[in-house]
Structure 1
């Protein structure tokens, strides 16, 4: 028996199992390899990856979450980092690449501290934990300032004086739905879309797409007021659908307030219906079949004709009841329409629309206010019927093209017909006669010459929609933060500068405060609470925290490298600019200095209060995205460094585990 031949942990396991003793350096090497692969994809000018998955599907993307979901990662430590990146995507909708890059840089610096400095692994782990705690303390101190008396702090967001930033790296937008703040929200959405589209699209096209994203988000917002007069805002990203239509260019993309089916109606049925009453069936629209199979024996031709006529009478009676009794003129089914049912639908002038997937059915029901019926024999009640102004099959899309004096209509042909459930009636004059105020679905039509371009645009829209969701997250209530405690679920409205400015300023503040002893017993007055909380930092912890602070610079370094600049020169300029701000030898706002990807070097990511028309130059990102990536990267790296032995059981038989999530096309 192998039990008497093996020693150690392997003797306790079944045959086929394996162990790996002291896998720290192997895990660090694997994480660093993943970081090196993802680095080239980061930033607006990042490069794409061509992935051929296990099913032979070709995917061209630079989105880190899609890359990690399409490839099959077998290394246990890298799988932990993969799960963290996917979790970041599920929580905030963006920032998965930042998780991989920060974790990879922390791994590389941990290896250097182990090999060159001889710092024990336990001290590195504790140093990383204390570093993220100190970063939380810095940010929670600034967040708490926004919760104080607004009149004394004068931090109200105005049209010309958007931020009063006296040394703060965290800003807040007071009222997201205030029309005066629409330009700031547009800058946030554009910043989210720039990371996917700036390298493949003109700036004017991205502005056009960000305006579409903002309109789509505003259309699906629901505002309710309770009995006490408190306003509650609800926003569901699933109520915004992005569909891709082949052909055209980015400027041909448009927004439709309503639901779109990306194929035509059933052949021969009506193609245009106004004041539509819609019956939705979650089954095939045809005569119901028995659960068991059987044979029918006809003794004469008359019996066969009579049997067929009875089936036709049942179907026609159902169609007549739907039309005459309930006034229904549109029938929607998630399965097939039988030939007999189609015949009588054509005869009585009803429209028939087939939906291929369940999620389309749910969105249509939300859009028109219908409830699906499980059986054909069951007639919908008055509460189950959906209503819509106009349902039509179209072969072209009408766009508003701005001119010098006024906008004009432009018709753009599409390859295959689509069905549109509109929420507004538009006459030939272009004037809207009636708008349904309770329509909760918006559909964004994405046009592009190639499939990868359409994929980039769809990912950019998803990023923008998630950014808007994060801004509305508990925005109606004030965010409370205590020292070293930040409620990440209540950071709505808090934004930071992008382009590597936030990471650079946070890195400089951590290094500067550690060097000046800000967290020692002789700390300054403003850091007294922090000193009491964390105590005196040892020299070893100080070294680890400084390495942690320098690891944050991996993000601006990657942006500079992928933009064709010299990363070391750019980082030096960034650190010099932020150091000047700390010494108060330059103008206010140097803490917002980031990487200039267009002209090289650095520039301000948030315009000054004097430049009232510079909002389109702003590069803003939600604080929750940055903070979530920082926490997930640190905690994942701490878990990986804490592993001293890997025990792998023998693989079970059967098919391999499916990778990734099923995306909504």
Structure 2
């Protein structure tokens, strides 16, 4: 009689390492094609049909719908990189994927995961020292190149000289938290400009309101300027026309009182986060008060900070001391719609940048590129060191880490060697995305890096082979590369230490935890 065999006994076992490695590689492949000046864009569509077209790694990873927990862990690399350095997100995720891919080969050789993680940590520590050795002190010209490099490969590239100069001028005149960026389509990128003051993407509510206000006293209101919600939901029965008129007059009197409260504070400008009742708008227009509604919270906060005012949520408590003061408020025409322009601000440091582009999608992408540019310039200024770009530092690290591996004892030596190999994924991806052969490019670059002065040679995306990136003006902050390596190493080491993925039990619902709500 034949023996019955359970088919499940022969089923392949998939370990947590296999799953994590596969997820890391897939996520890296998702963004790898966006690297470099010839990187491709991604078209992202949400359930409502809203389309975003971008090659910004941070945006792609933030907006992509991810279900796997490991993928969400890896996106922390992107979040950390973006928050700390404003650029290098794609590089950090791609390096993470390559480190996990190399770890798979080491695991197949029966090297323990914690040994691999330890080797990766040793390699990263040495890499940080090597980066400091090749760092170049910043100058204004290098900072300008840093801004241009950050915008390369994006919609802003055609006018990157002008935008990079604006970014440099802005960041040298103030701090990041004092920079306000306004984006407007239906224009040319070369029409972008920066002003000392604030720009708000709103307009007056009534054409009878003034176009400009000198010595503006601005009331910043975060609630609807109308009757309280409970007063709008009353159900009243009336028997004659006089009662109707009496009810209407009563409501008008209440709205008049609200308007008078604002006017008595001394305000001649009202910026409201929400809506303003039409009757109140009419009163403001008659009194020569400028009013705008649905002003973004970020703009309200910027005005409050610049004008030393306070945002209020209770109109009856509005006082003169709550008002923000500005020397001049103007409504200026920009394209089809006007903007509110605030200048002559006593508090120094408020700067606004107006970005223009032909379409809404392109101006959004230029906004992301410009945001990266001012971020990396500020990071470079703060750290004081920059590096050649184009994959040059990764090749330099790869070469020197191979030599360092020979000094490491134990099986960690193989992990250090794998770490060195993994770093070549960046120049290889730059070459491939530019239509070049990655293998031939790496061979040529290794030859150039063999000399002591070759550490500045990166991928020549135009002619193939390598070229001195410092001479080409392809520069990136040292801290961007440093943080990318730190983030990738930490997350790869963390994933390698996981041997089981376990679903947690459902947490207690309200009422099931014994607490009396």
For Structure 1 versus Structure 2, the TM-score category normalised by the shorter chain is 0.7 to 0.9
State the partner residue of 1:638. 493
Deviations 1:227-277 (A, max 9, x none): xxxxxxxx3x34323222121221122223333332321023414123122
Q: Is the 8 A contact 2:332 2:341 kept in 1?
A: no
State the partner residue of 1:621. 476
Greater mean alpha carbon deviation, residues 545-554 or residues 309-318:
309-318
Deviations 1:441-486 (A, max 9, x none): 322222222333222211111111221332354xxxxxxxxxxxxx
Q: Distance in 1 between matches of 2:314 and 2:72?
A: 45
- 1:391 pairs, out of 329, 345, 348, with 329
- 1:286 pairs, out of 222, 226, 238, with 226
For the pair 1:443 / 2:352, whether they are aligned, the reply is: yes
For the pair 1:555 / 2:475, whether they are aligned, the reply is: no
Q: Secondary structure at the match of 1:572?
A: helix
Q: Is the 8 A contact 1:85 1:99 kept in 2?
A: yes
Classify 1:45/1:651 alpha carbon distance in 2 versus 1 (closer, same or farther; 3 Å). farther
Deviations 1:20-54 (A, max 9, x none): 86322232122222222221111221101112234
Q: Secondary structure at the match of 2:134?
A: coil
For the pair 1:497 / 2:388, whether they are aligned, the reply is: yes
State the partner residue of 1:594. 458
Q: Distance in 2 between matches of 1:439 and 1:422?
A: 13
Q: Distance in 2 between matches of 1:351 and 1:109?
A: 63
Q: Secondary structure at the match of 1:621?
A: strand
State the partner residue of 2:167. 213
Q: Is the 8 A contact 1:269 1:351 kept in 2?
A: no
How far is 1:298 from its partner?
5.7
For the pair 1:66 / 2:59, whether they are aligned, the reply is: yes
Q: Is the 8 A contact 1:288 1:376 kept in 2?
A: no
Q: Secondary structure at the match of 1:377?
A: helix
State the partner residue of 2:74. 81
Q: Distance in 2 between matches of 1:421 and 1:362?
A: 15
Q: Distance in 1 between matches of 2:437 and 2:404?
A: 28
How far is 1:206 from its partner?
0.4
Classify 1:627/1:271 alpha carbon distance in 2 versus 1 (closer, same or farther; 3 Å). same
Q: Is the 8 A contact 1:249 1:448 kept in 2?
A: yes
Q: Secondary structure at the match of 1:647?
A: coil
For the pair 1:337 / 2:288, whether they are aligned, the reply is: no
State the partner residue of 1:418. 338
- 2:137 pairs, out of 172, 184, 192, with 172
Q: Distance in 2 between matches of 1:23 and 1:321?
A: 65
Q: Is the 8 A contact 1:261 1:355 kept in 2?
A: no
Q: Distance in 2 between matches of 1:238 and 1:353?
A: 24
Classify 1:119/1:283 alpha carbon distance in 2 versus 1 (closer, same or farther; 3 Å). closer
Q: Is the 8 A contact 1:501 1:594 kept in 2?
A: yes
State the partner residue of 1:429. none
Q: Distance in 1 between matches of 2:255 and 2:37?
A: 57
Q: Distance in 1 between matches of 2:434 and 2:458?
A: 13
Classify 1:75/1:374 alpha carbon distance in 2 versus 1 (closer, same or farther; 3 Å). closer
Q: Is the 8 A contact 2:379 2:479 kept in 1?
A: yes
Deviations 1:175-234 (A, max 9, x none): xxxxxx43232222222122534xx742xx101111122233234x2xxxxxxxxxxxxx
Q: Secondary structure at the match of 2:501?
A: strand
Deviations 1:122-166 (A, max 9, x none): 432222122122223444xx4xxxxxxxxxxxxxxxxxxxxxxxx
For the pair 1:52 / 2:45, whether they are aligned, the reply is: yes
State the partner residue of 2:180. 241
State the partner residue of 1:123. 115
State the partner residue of 1:510. 401
Q: Distance in 2 between matches of 1:88 and 1:643?
A: 23
Classify 1:281/1:119 alpha carbon distance in 2 versus 1 (closer, same or farther; 3 Å). closer
Q: Is the 8 A contact 2:357 2:363 kept in 1?
A: yes
How far is 1:80 from its partner?
1.8
Deviations 1:335-357 (A, max 9, x none): 21112211211211211111343
For the pair 1:188 / 2:146, whether they are aligned, the reply is: yes
Q: Secondary structure at the match of 1:634?
A: helix
Q: Is the 8 A contact 2:444 2:466 kept in 1?
A: yes
Structure 2 residue ranges without an equivalent (≥5): 1-12, 510-517
How far is 1:626 from its partner?
1.0
Q: Is the 8 A contact 2:261 2:316 kept in 1?
A: no
For the pair 1:466 / 2:466, whether they are aligned, the reply is: no
How far is 1:307 from its partner?
5.2
Number of aligned residue pairs: 496
Greater mean alpha carbon deviation, residues 351-360 or residues 495-504:
351-360
Q: Distance in 2 between matches of 1:246 and 1:651?
A: 48
State the partner residue of 2:5. none
Classify 1:339/1:30 alpha carbon distance in 2 versus 1 (closer, same or farther; 3 Å). closer
How far is 1:389 from its partner?
3.1
Q: Is the 8 A contact 1:259 1:443 kept in 2?
A: yes
Q: Secondary structure at the match of 1:606?
A: helix
Q: Secondary structure at the match of 1:393?
A: strand
RMSD of aligned Cα (Å): 2.8
- 1:132 pairs, out of 119, 124, 143, with 124
Deviations 1:493-541 (A, max 9, x none): 12222111111111112123444xxx4xxxxxxxxxxxxxxxxx22533
Give me the TM-score of the superposition, normalised by structure 1: 0.69
Q: Distance in 2 between matches of 1:211 and 1:292?
A: 53
How far is 1:120 from its partner?
3.9
Q: Which has the higher helix share?
A: 2
Q: Is the 8 A contact 1:557 1:570 kept in 2?
A: yes
Mapping for residues 446-457 of structure 1, pairs under 5 Å:
446-457=355-366
